[in-house]
Amino acid sequence: MSNDLLDLTLKRRSTRIFLTDEIEDNTINEILKIALTAPSSWGEHPVHFVVVKDKEMIREIAHCKAMGANPLIQSNVCIVVMVDTSNCELWIEDASVASTYILLAAEQFNIGACWIHIRNRAGQVKSADEEIRELLNVPDNFRVLNCIALGQKGEFKKEYSEDKLHIENIHHDFF
């Protein structure tokens, strides 16, 4: 049985080293259109994306996190994933699903991607979330879950193999 989605997920690995080659705007737009199809709680679509291509601004965003944002510095594009929490109880879940769609869409276009976690992470002075929102002039009712670093792959990791999947983690009818 052919399973294109499984094949895509087996190939998708986090990329932390990027080439300097630019990503075309139409590719970024296609990735974001896919993200906009992600399901959200109560169908409200509260997830917003800030696409940053300016290298200096990407560095400033990376600096908003005390540690763990190095892949952003090398990336060509930073997508800041945030949610309007004013009417969204399940904002973490909604942003997580949309972010996963971005990661898969990037792989479909052979673009490297890495999730950089922001929620509940330290910034330089405040939380990373607060510092990024201040930097990007984001309203107070929004929360940043993560940033996704995108770029042409500068490293290639071995694909996952189906025989290494943890099938034992699947349970039927009861645990």
Read off the pLDDT of residues 135-170 as tens digits, 9 standing for 90 and up. 999 999 999 999 999 999 999 999 999 999 999 999
Q: How many residues does the chain have?
A: 175
pTM recorded for the entire structure: 0.95
Please report the pLDDT score of residue 73 as a whole number.
96
CA angle (94 as vertex; 142, 54 as ends), nearest 5: 55
Helix and strand numbers (H, E) in the chain are 6, 4
Three-state DSSP at 147 gives strand
Question: 3-class DSSP state for residue 40?
Answer: coil
Alpha helices by DSSP H, listed for the chain, are 4-11, 25-35, 55-63, 70-74, 91-108, 128-136
Res 132: pLDDT: 98
Give 10-residue mean pLDDT values along the chain (175 residues): 95 97 97 97 94 98 97 97 94 98 98 98 97 98 98 95 94 96
Task: Tell me what pLDDT residue 87 has.
Answer: 87
**Residue given tokens 């800030």 in the structure block:** 50
